[in-house]
Amino acid sequence: MRISKNKKRENRFRRIFSFFLCMMLAAGLCHISACKTGNDPAAGREQAGKQEEEGRGPEGQTGLESLPGGIAGRLPVIEEFHFPVEMETVHVRIPGMEGERFLLYLSDLHLILESDQIDEKELENIRARMAWSSYEGMTAADSWKSWVNYLNAMQGDCEGVLFGADMIDFASKANVDCLREGLEELKLPWLYVRADHDLAPSYLYGVFEPDSLEYQNTISPYEEVMTMEFPEFLISGWNNSTAQLSETGLARMKELFALGKPVILLTHVPIKPLQDESLAEKSREIWGGRELIWGEGCNNAPNETTKEFLNMIYAEDTPVCEILCGHLHFTWDGQVTEKVHQHVFGPAFERKLGVIWISGPSEKNDEKIRSNVVDKTK
């Protein structure tokens, strides 16, 4: 019984990484390498062009580096998939956990559709934003359909998909409907935390925040804190983390933290690392001097309630072991404290997909980690 269970696990592991590797190879063959800088499409195109000339992906990564060691030698099949994406893998170690689980992460798609809700004066601006969140001429709204097919191909290999916000660029009915239709087609369980872009009726005529919230509620009911629970750990989602955490949200987080399970925190806005300035520095560099992260002295400066929550993350006895986030439109990976790791994922409009590999710490797993860790901050 034990042997067949292990065998099953091994086969599952092989299948999932074979699939990922196929995607990477397809990306490599197509020489897809676009990297945008902040909100500046021109800078992105220039950088993408340079990288293409040099035959490498964004930040020098091909994607193969992030796969567990030895997997490249065990490539069984190469499948054609006409939607190359770039994987960012994160390994989360849960003490005492047997076996492994995989989750996917996607954020910052910034899906935009034109509609009659858009204020005429904003139309030109909207079209520029549509071009900005397009990839190789495909709008984010069109790519969303392909994303759903792509994610569905992982059914059976992954436990679910975490959507880390900014999935739409503004909360019009058309944008929310398009997102919801895709989610209705998704065959994996999912959790979607929102942020300002998902909730704000920016650029719209006669649409206000309660209307936008009503649209969002057709996807899933809005709650302060959203969760996805597994026997070994808990995903705790800070909904609308571009705003301060409310008293209700804090109370809910306290309840969840008291359950005694390791917590993976899903938030749109990253948390300021205590000892490492590189995240704040990179944010200033990309975002015109702004530190778009939660922390003292940052653009997201916490009020007393949010500060209390941040201290729950910084505490030595925190149950948080991993923070998964987006928002900055660049990749960063490092420690928030000695105990808490954080990965900032690149945006889905650049075809970045997070792969979260969750397992118990073991010599075998540590060996895999040593061979696949990519320090993207260098």
Least distance (Å) between residue 327 CB and Fe ion: 6
Least distance (Å) between residue 177 CB and Fe ion: 20
CA 74, 94, 368: angle at the middle one, nearest 5?
Answer: 25
> Measured from the CB atom, is 97 or 140 closer to Fe ion?
140
Least distance (Å) between residue 352 CB and Fe ion: 12
| CA–CA dist 16, 263 (Å, integer) | 24
Determine contact, residues 102/9, Cβ cutoff 8 Å: no
> Measured from the CB atom, is 261 or 290 closer to Fe ion?
290
Least distance (Å) between residue 326 CB and Fe ion: 6
Least distance (Å) between residue 197 CB and Fe ion: 6
Q: Which stretch binds Fe ion (CB under 5 A): 69-77, 159-167, 203-211, 352-360?
A: 159-167
Q: How many residues bind Fe ion (CB under 5 A)?
A: 2
Q: Which stretch binds Fe ion (CB under 5 A): 105-113, 290-298, 309-317, 338-346?
A: 105-113
Determine contact, residues 68/82, Cβ cutoff 8 Å: no
Q: Shortest CA distance to 264 belongs to which of 238, 236, 240, 245?
A: 236
- Please report which helix (H) or strand (E) contains residue 169, including its range: none
> Measured from the CB atom, is 164 or 262 closer to Fe ion?
164
Determine contact, residues 300/269, Cβ cutoff 8 Å: yes
Q: Which stretch binds Fe ion (CB under 5 A): 17-25, 102-110, 119-127, 206-214?
A: 102-110
Least distance (Å) between residue 171 CB and Fe ion: 14
> Measured from the CB atom, is 106 or 356 closer to Fe ion?
106
| CA–CA dist 251, 257 (Å, integer) | 10
- Please report which helix (H) or strand (E) contains residue 51, including its range: helix 41-54
Q: Which stretch binds Fe ion (CB under 5 A): 39-47, 101-109, 145-153, 298-306?
A: 101-109
Interaction with Fe ion in 161-200: which residues (CB under 5 A)?
Answer: 166
Interaction with Fe ion in 309-368: which residues (CB under 5 A)?
Answer: none
Between β-strands 100-106 and 352-359, what pairing exists: parallel, antiparallel or unpaired?
Answer: antiparallel
> Measured from the CB atom, is 182 or 319 closer to Fe ion?
182
Q: Which stretch binds Fe ion (CB under 5 A): 14-22, 104-112, 155-163, 235-243?
A: 104-112
Least distance (Å) between residue 325 CB and Fe ion: 11
Three-state DSSP class for residue 55: coil
Q: Give the start-end residues of each E strand in 156-298.
A: 160-163, 190-192, 225-229, 234-238, 263-267
> Measured from the CB atom, is 200 or 321 closer to Fe ion?
200
Tell me the CB-side half-sphere exposure of residue 368, using CA atoms within 13 A. 19
Residue 313 is encoded by which pair of tokens?
A: 């993350």
> Measured from the CB atom, is 166 or 350 closer to Fe ion?
166
Least distance (Å) between residue 216 CB and Fe ion: 16
| CA–CA dist 271, 335 (Å, integer) | 10
| CA–CA dist 96, 181 (Å, integer) | 39
Interaction with Fe ion in 256-285: which residues (CB under 5 A)?
Answer: none
- Asked if residue 108 binds Fe ion (CB under 5 A), the reply is yes
| CA–CA dist 158, 182 (Å, integer) | 18
Phi and psi torsions of 263, nearest 5°: -115, 130
> Measured from the CB atom, is 166 or 322 closer to Fe ion?
166
- Residues at the interface with Fe ion (CB under 5 A): 108, 166
